[in-house]
Amino acid sequence: MESNFVDYVKIYCRSGKGGRGSMHLKHVKYNPNGGPDGGDGGDGGSVILRGNHNYWTLLHLRYQRHVKAEHGGNGGRDKCHGTKGKDAYIDVPCGTVVYNAETGKFVCDVMHDGQEVVLLKGGRGGLGNYQFRTATNQAPRYAQPGEPMQEMTVIMELKLLADVGLVGFPNAGKSTLLSALSSARPKIANYPFTTLEPSLGIVAYRDNQSFVMADIPGIIEGASEGKGLGLRFLRHIERNSLLLFMVPGDTDDIKKEYEILLNELRNFNPEMLDKHRVLAVTKCDLLDEELIDMLRETCPDDIPVVFISAVASQGLQELKDVLWKELNSESNKLQAITAEETLVHRDKDMTRFNAELLAEGEDEDIEIDEIEIEDLDDDDFELTIDN
């Protein structure tokens, strides 16, 4: 069964070309010296991205392989201007990043609801011969053609916008925690890689306050090199304000597993290490107080550590208090503001780009129809005079 969560699409986009300016001389019975009256061509339509908070995946674009704006209309006689081509709008969820599919270069991103970004600008319409009249050239016999259209095949990636991102090995209890803290109901089972797509949940806090938590599929050692589910879902925690690392309490070395996870994030994007972090030791209903006290001494001492059990509802309120405190700390707020203003998206590594396209099911070429050749009237090239 095909998933409804689509966070990666490949689309061919094309703006509209500008209309031709008209070359026309007015010469009628009662106005034999009417002079030039050729109108300007209309501007071509642009391709515009628009943030829409009603979407949370790119599913609506999955089978929309071509997006084309309208061409501008040609100018006409009597100073008639050509019609402006209609813009093509692409509604995308907030957090969408766009790359050039041929070069891997970053193009733009859409962060806010209602934000509009011009992806491809339409061509300007050409000027008619009326615009070129002068005292010494009262009957210009030329006009401008319209500017050509722009085209590009793009890759759109969705990076989920959430306050807290869950990071952990498969079967660490991430989905169980999300279901215990929110109304989200991700799939839960006793085997690795139960979660195959990200899930979002709204966690209620005191005084009708809340924050958003994102669960991504489990990370294994070597994920940054493509092992397991690889890089596919790591991008969904790039925009999170806070990272919640989850390590089971029955693991041999909690600190070692935490450092492995941290190293994978470092290899994927070093900027992620600047985010605030919290460590949750899960499945603590299997541990007694004495063992928990012993484990505390082996945990990292540079981040807050909370011992929890989502099944037994143990330590959940303490965890929410710690997360809320970290989310609203002054250093985290300042960091969020700075990151939004200076966020740098890395270009795609072309050595892995083709493999990534194949993994996402976007390896097939998009068929692009040949540019239609419009029938050209004689008045496009020859002087037209009304008799």
pLDDT at 162 over 60: yes
pLDDT at 263 over 90: no
pLDDT at 262 over 60: yes
Output the pLDDT for position 231: 56
User: 355: pLDDT confidence band, cut at 50, 70 and 90?
Assistant: low
When computed from its CA atoms, the radius of gyration of the chain, rounded to whole angstroms, is: 29
Displacement of CA 304 from its chain's centroid (Å):
32
pLDDT at 292 over 60: yes
Helices 174-181 and 316-327: crossing angle in degrees, nearest 10, is 90
Name the residue type at position 271: E
Output the pLDDT for position 186: 58
Between 219 and 311, residue with greater pLDDT:
311
pLDDT in tens, 138-149: 889 899 999 999
Burial-class residue 187 by CB neighbours within 10 Å (0-12, 13-18, 19+).
exposed
Q: What is the average pLDDT across 66-85?
A: 93
Domain positions in the chain? 8-158+364-385, 164-345
User: 201: pLDDT confidence band, cut at 50, 70 and 90?
Assistant: confident
Name the residue type at position 34: G
pLDDT at 51 over 50: yes
pLDDT at 137 over 80: yes
User: 88: pLDDT confidence band, cut at 50, 70 and 90?
Assistant: very high
Output the pLDDT for position 116: 94
CA-CA distances (angstroms) from residue 346 to 108, 117, 119, 242, 257?
11, 19, 18, 21, 27
Output the pLDDT for position 73: 94
Output the pLDDT for position 41: 95
Q: What is the average pLDDT across 203-207?
A: 85
Find which of 184-193, 227-236, 320-329 is predicted with most confidence, using mean pLDDT. Answer: 320-329
pLDDT at 181 over 90: no
Output the pLDDT for position 198: 72
pLDDT at 360 over 70: no
Output the pLDDT for position 373: 40
pLDDT at 382 over 80: no
Retrieve residue 149's tokens.
């259209």
Output the pLDDT for position 195: 54
DSSP single-letter state for residue 60: G
pTM: 0.70
Retrieve residue 137's tokens.
């050239």
Phi, psi of 163 (to 5 degrees): -80, -45
CA distance 331 to 276: 9
Strand partners, 96: 110, 158
CB atoms within 10 A of CB 260: 17
CA distance 282 to 171: 10
Residue 44: name the closest of 70, 67, 20, 14 by CA: 70
Percent of the chain topping pLDDT 70: 76
Between 325 and 183, residue with greater pLDDT:
325
Q: Class assignment of domain 164-345?
A: alpha beta
Output the pLDDT for position 126: 94
Q: Strands of the chain (E only): list them.
A: 8-14, 24-28, 31-36, 47-51, 66-68, 88-92, 96-100, 106-110, 116-120, 151-158, 164-168, 199-204, 210-215, 242-248, 276-282, 305-307, 384-385
Topology of the domain covering 8-158+364-385: Spo0b-associated Gtp-binding Protein; Chain: A, (2.70.210)
Output the pLDDT for position 13: 95
Output the pLDDT for position 378: 38
Output the pLDDT for position 222: 59
Q: What is the average pLDDT across 25-43?
A: 84
Output the pLDDT for position 84: 95
